């Protein structure tokens, strides 16, 4: 007999999982993260494995999803739409492989088909004699919802099949796949929803599910939904022998199939694929929470069979969680170098993907108000790659009534000056240019590596120097003496000498660095380099008109007006004159003169983090080789340099335009530099390993 506390725990887990299934599959409004749900399900499975006499037919481990909603007609699946078992580590994946190897025979050759696991909505679409007749959600795996009218509005779902090579269409075929929303489309949709005062979605999966399950198909048609086919259910009139053959056949019929699917011959190659995509998941244009691994042969699949509503022949290798739920304890406001007030969330610490998160961005006042985020809320927090964690939204269903709405303060929290919000802008600013917080941030930006690169000075030192009254603007840095550092902990004679030498050396930084360091709104390092190349001196740039700036490629009206407004400000003009008096060079030096080189006439864009250099150093290499550095991928881009954690939008655009992608070593070969010495093998990661052995940079294409 199982102990009473075990029986009670199992019942409690079942109740919780059923409720979460209902919220996820029916309401499209989950109140816990996928990782938290997986933990509940894993605990239930382990308890049922230890006490099999407690397994019941209606246990969540024996079913998939949740019952269909009453508002849709029910559809009984001819063949169940099963869920997948999960592997949370390489050891889990190898254990699964050993199990199927024992069942099939140790000497049996096993091939696999692998693909990124899209976080969308599973769908089954039935065609009779080549015509779409029915589309149903997975539901509980046995009964789904009839969403035919809505699926017919999804552009990538064919309404009629293309005849295959032999010209014969199957009499009946049920195509299974995923309805999803690309990240860029999801973000645009949320912006539109917020602007219209409508509900915003927590993530692309919820947006896709909510869009597909509309009673008015016109709403579905207005949403940017897409479809990837990944398999079939019942089929009549054609014989398919493997998963790989099936995918090729689906392409022939006109279905989009994930281009990153691969057929692999052994488990080690499968593991390498899973690990590679775990490190490159941010390169995908859609959300993926793992990799699906399937035995390729249908004969082997039938031999392996199904257990507990899960096929033995397939498994999902899950990536570490990037979302979690936690309590929002407070919202504090920081003041940036431009005076912008930045609301930040103070969170009850939560582990997301192995990192403890206690702070997250909230963007601006409109973001908080449109999502009705309140202090005390249970909130969803997302951490993707190296991006600062952000609060996605609240979980209003679990509110207690003690939560407090938040509003932007009417006065600067540092200097007390009344704040302003310019017409048409989402951001709020402190207009006081002498605000100590702004001064600290301006100095922090000025001394940063991408700007004037003054080693030994950072936020802490800047704050101390401002608080002591030694610095009122960045030009005052050049008036510091050894006595200025007296009493500052950690600054002995040698360190003071090094800092003052670094300050002196920064006077000769390239003009592009100076322009960037000034902190002109909307002018990043790439645009600063373009302005330096065009104007060759700070005075010439300061006297430029909006019309002149608009003639420069890549500069639009908003940026041009921002530059002109900056130099029209008397305080900024005075600062420039003060910089000249203290000896800062304000004209381009000979090292900034464009010259011929291997990249002459070429434009390169950089995305992600490079292992052996900063992005500013890479940009300098491009310019020294005669090339130009672009800020966005366009038809005029010749190469995209791809580092770790690259931006998915740039990668997707490069894919669409057929622009060659370079890893770091190929980039160094292209500019004529020796690649950095390779890391010891044990320290190499997928981000630092070359992605291709191609020797000709012009031919190098990474499959990302």
Catalytic positions are: 117
Q: Provide the H-helix boundaries in 591-692.
A: 615-624, 648-657, 664-670
Sign of CA dihedral 34, 40, 44, 46: positive
Cα-based torsion angle of the residue sequence 629, 630, 634, 636 in order, rounded to the nearest 10 degrees: -40
Q: Provide the H-helix boundaries in 525-647.
A: 525-535, 538-542, 546-550, 557-568, 570-581, 615-624
Q: How many angstroms separate the CA atoms of 223 and 214, rounded?
A: 11
The long-range contacts involving 534-541, CB below 8 angstroms and separated by at least 24 positions, are 536/511, 536/587, 536/588, 537/511, 537/586, 537/587, 537/588, 538/511, 538/514, 538/576, 538/586, 538/587, 539/586, 541/515, 541/567
C-beta of residue 445 within 8 angstroms of C-beta of residue 519: yes
Terminal alpha carbon distance of the chain: 54
| Range list of β-strands (E), 129-197 | 131-137, 143-145, 172-180
Q: How many angstroms separate the CA atoms of 179 and 230, rounded?
A: 11
Q: Give the residue among 132, 133, 136 at the shortest CA–CA distance from 122.
A: 136
C-beta of residue 466 within 8 angstroms of C-beta of residue 443: yes
229's tokens: 């086919």
C-beta of residue 208 within 8 angstroms of C-beta of residue 254: no
């Amino acid at each position: 007999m199982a102990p009473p506390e075990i029986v009670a725990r199992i019942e409690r887990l079942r109740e919780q999982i059923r409720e979460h299934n209902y919220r996820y599959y029916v309401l499209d409004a989950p109140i816990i993260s996928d990782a938290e749900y997986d933990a509940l399900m894993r605990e239930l499975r382990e308890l049922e494995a230890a006490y099999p006499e407690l397994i019941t037919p209606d246990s969540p481990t024996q079913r998939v999803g949740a019952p269909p909603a009453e508002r849709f007609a029910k559809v009984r699946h001819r063949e169940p739409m099963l869920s997948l078992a999960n592997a949370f580590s390489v050891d889990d994946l190898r254990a699964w492989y050993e199990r199927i190897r024992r069942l099939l025979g140790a000497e049996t050759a096993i091939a696999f088909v692998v693909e990124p696991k899209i976080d969308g909505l599973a769908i089954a679409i039935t065609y009779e004699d080549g015509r779409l007749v029915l589309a149903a959600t997975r539901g509980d795996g046995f009964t789904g919802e009839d969403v035919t009218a809505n699926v017919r509005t999804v552009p990538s779902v064919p309404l009629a099949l293309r005849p295959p090579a032999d010209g014969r269409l199957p009499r009946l075929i049920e195509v299974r796949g995923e309805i999803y929303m690309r990240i860029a489309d999801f973000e645009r949709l949320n912006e539109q929803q917020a602007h219209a005062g409508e509900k915003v979605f927590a993530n692309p999966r919820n947006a896709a599910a909510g869009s597909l399950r509309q009673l008015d198909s016109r709403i579905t048609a207005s949403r940017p939904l897409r479809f990837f086919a990944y398999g079939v259910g019942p089929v009549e009139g054609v014989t398919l022998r493997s998963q790989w053959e099936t995918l090729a056949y689906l392409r022939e019929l006109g279905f989009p199939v994930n281009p990153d699917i691969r057929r692999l011959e052994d488990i080690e190659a499968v593991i390498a694929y899973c690990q590679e995509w775990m490190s490159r998941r941010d390169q995908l244009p859609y959300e993926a929470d793992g990799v699906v691994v399937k035995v390729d042969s249908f004969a082997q699949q039938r031999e392996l069979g199904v257990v507990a509503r899960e096929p033995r022949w397939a498994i999902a290798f899950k990536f570490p969680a990037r979302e979690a739920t936690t309590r929002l304890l407070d919202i504090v406001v920081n003041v940036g170098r431009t005076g912008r007030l930045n609301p930040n969330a103070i969170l009850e610490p939560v582990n997301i993907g192995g990192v403890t998160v206690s702070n997250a961005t909230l963007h601006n006042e409109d973001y908080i108000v449109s999502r009705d985020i309140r202090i005390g809320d249970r909130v969803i927090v997302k951490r993707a790659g190296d991006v600062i964690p952000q609060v996605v939204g609240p979980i209003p269903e679990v509110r207690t009534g003690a939560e407090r709405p938040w509003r932007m303060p009417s006065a600067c929290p540092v200097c007390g000056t009344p704040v302003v919000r310019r017409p048409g802008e989402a951001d709020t600013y402190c207009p006081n240019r002498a605000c100590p917080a702004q001064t600290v941030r301006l100095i922090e930006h000025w001394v940063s590596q991408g700007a004037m690169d003054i080693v030994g000075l950072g936020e802490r030192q800047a704050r101390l120097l401002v608080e002591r009254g030694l610095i009122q603007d960045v030009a005052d840095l050049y008036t510091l003496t050894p006595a200025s550092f007296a009493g500052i902990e950690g600054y002995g004679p040698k360190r003071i000498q090094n800092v003052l030498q670094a300050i002196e050396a920064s006077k000769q930084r390239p003009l592009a660095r100076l322009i960037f360091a000034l902190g002109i709104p909307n002018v990043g390092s790439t645009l600063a380099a373009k302005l330096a190349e065009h104007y060759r001196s700070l005075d010439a740039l300061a006297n430029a008109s909006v019309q002149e700036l608009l003639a420069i490629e890549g500069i639009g009206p908003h940026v041009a007006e921002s530059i002109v407004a900056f130099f029209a400000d008397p305080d900024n003009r005075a600062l420039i004159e003060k910089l000249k008096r203290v000896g800062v060079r304000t004209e381009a030096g000979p090292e900034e003169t464009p010259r011929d080189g291997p990249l002459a006439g070429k434009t390169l864009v950089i995305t992600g983090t490079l292992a052996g250099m900063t992005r500013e150093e890479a940009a300098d290499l491009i310019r020294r080789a005669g090339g130009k550095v672009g800020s966005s991928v366009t038809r005029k881009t010749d190469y995209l340099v791809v580092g770790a954690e690259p931006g998915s939008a740039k990668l997707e655009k490069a894919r669409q335009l057929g622009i060659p992608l370079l890893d770091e070593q190929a980039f160094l070969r292209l500019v004529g530099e020796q690649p950095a010495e390779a890391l010891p093998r044990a320290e190499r990661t997928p981000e630092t390993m070359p992605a291709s052995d191609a020797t000709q940079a012009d031919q190098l294409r990474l499959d990302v």
